[in-house]
């Protein structure tokens, strides 16, 4: 398992997950659970969550929400276990690489499962239009933010440690970019938002049926698309004035 350094640039969700993950990791190291086993287990949780969302029933939606949040926390746990036990391997590095790229598409995969579940229950074809914009926005954002580019201009690699501080300073100077941070946060923390929506789903289901999931997906589609448009505009300004 590849040992990942602890990030200093995470938000409050990141820091909260790390506080939860460390005690769990210490316990798992004591019982000799490997980081690779944890990585495989969290992948299994994610696949089960997709299946549960396809069911589009209250109990399974709540269960799916719990599973995706556990999977998100275990993403920190496997790194902590590798760090504490100091056990690494080439296979572990490949597994981490594969898992991170797979989880990087989690928004699209969960969106697909949820929207198909809604379609099977309601026969509403509009879900496919929402799904298209969700997937399109997700991958445009990923391309602009996470895929490294060979360029001397820092704005093309916003998630690099050398660029992130300058990126934060720039967006805090402009009121429009400050508002855009809300959409950036939602699009980045869609898994955690979906967990909260899933947990609260039984309360809203009594009054609005499946509408909460439907409007959550619309919110995610808007957040992802507004995020990539905002990033593209930000990069355009940085290049033009740089």
pLDDT tens across 112-123, in order? Answer: 999 999 999 999
User: Average pLDDT of 190-211?
Assistant: 92
DSSP 55-111: H--HHHHHHHHHHHHHHHHHHHHHHHHHHHHT---HHHHHHHHHHHHHHTTHHHHHH
**Matching CATH number, 1-103, of 1.25.40.390, 1.20.1050.140, 1.20.120.1760, 3.40.1710.10:** 1.20.120.1760
Given a cut of 60, is residue 38 above it in pLDDT? yes
pTM of the model: 0.81
Lowest mean pLDDT among 20-34, 47-61, 189-203, 223-237: 223-237
Q: What is the pLDDT of residue 153?
A: 56
DSSP code of residue 157: -
pLDDT category, 5, cuts 50, 70, 90?
A: very low
Cα angle at 76 between 64 and 133, to 5 degrees?
50
Kindly list the domain boundaries of the chain, sorted by start residue: 1-103, 105-242
69-83, 92-106, 123-137 — which one is most confidently predicted on average? 123-137
Query: Per the structure block, which two tokens stand in for 49?
Result: 């969550």
Model confidence at 178: pLDDT above 70: no
């Amino acid at each position: 398992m590849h040992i990942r350094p602890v990030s200093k640039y995470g938000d409050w969700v990141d820091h909260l997950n790390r506080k939860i993950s460390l005690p769990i990791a210490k316990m798992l190291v004591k019982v000799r659970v490997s980081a690779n086993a944890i990585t495989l287990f969290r992948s299994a949780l994610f696949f089960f969550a997709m299946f549960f969302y396809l069911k589009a029933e209250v109990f399974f939606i709540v269960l799916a929400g719990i599973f995706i949040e556990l999977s998100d926390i275990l993403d920190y746990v496997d790194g902590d276990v590798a760090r504490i036990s100091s056990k690494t391997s080439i296979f572990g590095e490949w597994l981490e690489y594969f898992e991170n790229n797979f989880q990087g598409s989690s928004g699209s995969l969960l969106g697909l499962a949820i929207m198909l579940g809604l379609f099977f229950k309601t026969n509403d074809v509009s879900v496919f239009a929402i799904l298209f914009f969700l997937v399109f926005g997700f991958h445009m954002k990923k391309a602009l933010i996470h895929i490294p580019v060979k360029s001397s201009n820092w704005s093309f690699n916003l998630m690099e440690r050398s660029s992130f501080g300058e990126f934060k300073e720039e967006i805090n100077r402009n009121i429009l970019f400050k508002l855009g941070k809300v959409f950036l946060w939602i699009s980045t923390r869609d898994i955690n938002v979906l967990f909260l929506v899933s947990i609260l789903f039984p309360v809203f289901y009594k009054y609005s049926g499946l509408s909460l999931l439907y409007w959550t997906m619309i919110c995610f589609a808007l957040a992802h698309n507004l995020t990539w448009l905002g990033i593209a505009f930000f990069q355009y300004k940085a290049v033009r004035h740089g």
